[in-house]
């Protein structure tokens, strides 16, 4: 089995500044930690690094740092941090970014922006620059209203290749109090999937559940996106190390804060689910991400 992890984070607070880090995540998660987290199985591992929200001024420094360790951890592509709403500054930045080795796309974090932000002309202008430079866009949003903003973006910019991070971060509850997929989320996912240039990452649900999750709990959500997007536009992502934090880590309680087996557990969960649905497991675990990001 081989896995092209479409959503990997790495960071080193001694190298760059990450204002959002706290608790168990306020530590270094680099090559040594990742290799240990992958385990000593027979799986072939590669990954797409997704920006980890360092400060804006260090976006290019983050790209350079990840490129410097890429060979050690099998990073095949980099989704860089970007601000798409800065006009000429955005145009200059993306022009320089497009020439950087390994850079395949960008992420302007939308989850922290107000609803409607992705509909503004300033943001849309930046999105058009992505198309001009052949870069993809990772859409990280929360809730049906922001999902509708991504739908509107896909409508307005049909040449922009968009991948939805973490299934749009639906509420999935916990193992002790699971919830079913909500109608507004299902409707938004279904509408977004009508755009053929959009794909979806099977990632991030453990973090949305606060680290307490089960296969039975997450499978209804995986089923919704698979029905909407089809088996050729979904791709596995570990969201490591964010989705490796245990309930104790999220709550600040005692006990292990990071699950050492988070990556193989999520991989096996998605692989078993895909196989049970009759999907091409290699496509879900590797080929779909490789095709979307142009990695061969």
Torsional sign, CA 233, 200, 65, 133:
positive
Is the per-residue pLDDT at 64 higher than 80?
yes
Q: Which element (helix H / strand E) includes 222?
A: helix 215-229
Q: What is the pLDDT of residue 256?
A: 74
The predicted structure's pLDDT at residue 251: 83
| pLDDT tens for each residue of 93-111 | 999 998 899 999 999 999 9
% of the chain beyond a pLDDT of 90: 94
Q: Give mean pLDDT, residues 133-160.
A: 97
* β-strands 198-202, 234-236 pairing: parallel
How many CB atoms within 10 Å of residue 281? 19
Q: What is the pLDDT of residue 218?
A: 98
The full 3-state SS of 70-125, as one line of letters, equals HHHHCEEEEEEECCCCCCHHHHHHHHHHCCCCCEEEEECCCCCCCCCHHHCHHHHH
Q: Under CATH, what is the fold of the domain 2-293?
A: TIM Barrel (3.20.20)
pTM exceeds cut of 0.85: yes
pLDDT at 46 over 80: yes
Secondary element (H or E) of residue 183? helix 183-192
Q: What is the structure's pLDDT at 239? A: 98
Q: Largest Cα–Cα distance in the chain?
A: 50
- At residue 202, the pLDDT reads 99
The yes-or-no verdict on residue 145 having pLDDT over 80 is yes
Taking 90 as the threshold, does the pLDDT of residue 222 lie above it? yes
Question: Across residues 115-143, what is the average pLDDT?
Answer: 98
Residue 43: per-residue pLDDT: 82
């Amino acid at each position: 089995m081989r896995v092209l992890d479409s959503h990997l984070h790495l960071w080193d607070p001694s190298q760059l500044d990450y204002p959002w880090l706290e608790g168990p995540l306020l530590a270094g998660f680099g090559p040594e930690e990742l290799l240990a987290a992958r385990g000593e199985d027979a799986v072939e591992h590669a990954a797409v690094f997704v920006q980890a929200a360092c400060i804006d001024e260090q976006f290019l420094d983050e790209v350079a740092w990840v490129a410097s360790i890429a060979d050690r951890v099998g990073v095949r592509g980099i989704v860089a941090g970007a601000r798409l709403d800065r006009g000429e500054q955005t145009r200059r930045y993306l022009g320089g970014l497009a020439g950087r080795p390994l850079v395949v796309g960008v992420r302007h974090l939308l989850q922290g922006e107000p609803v409607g932000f992705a509909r503004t002309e300033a943001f849309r202008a930046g999105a058009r620059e992505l198309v001009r430079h052949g870069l993809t866009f990772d859409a990280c949003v929360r809730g049906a209203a922001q999902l509708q903003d991504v739908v509107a973006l896909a409508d307005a910019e049909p040449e922009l290749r968009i991948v939805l991070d973490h299934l749009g971060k639906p509420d999935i509850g916990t193992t002790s109090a699971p919830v079913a997929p909500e109608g507004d989320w299902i409707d938004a996912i279904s509408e977004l999937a009508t755009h053929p240039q959009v794909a979806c990452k099977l990632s991030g649900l453990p973090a949305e559940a606060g680290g307490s999750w089960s296969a039975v709990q997450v499978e209804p959500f995986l089923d919704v996106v698979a029905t909407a997007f089809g088996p050729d536009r979904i791709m596995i992502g570990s969201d490591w190390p964010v989705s490796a934090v245990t309930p104790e880590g999220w709550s600040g309680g005692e006990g292990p804060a990071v699950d050492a087996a988070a990556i193989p557990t999520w991989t096996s969960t998605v692989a078993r689910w895909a196989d049970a649905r009759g999907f091409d497991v290699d496509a879900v675990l590797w080929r779909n991400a490789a095709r979307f990001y142009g990695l061969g």
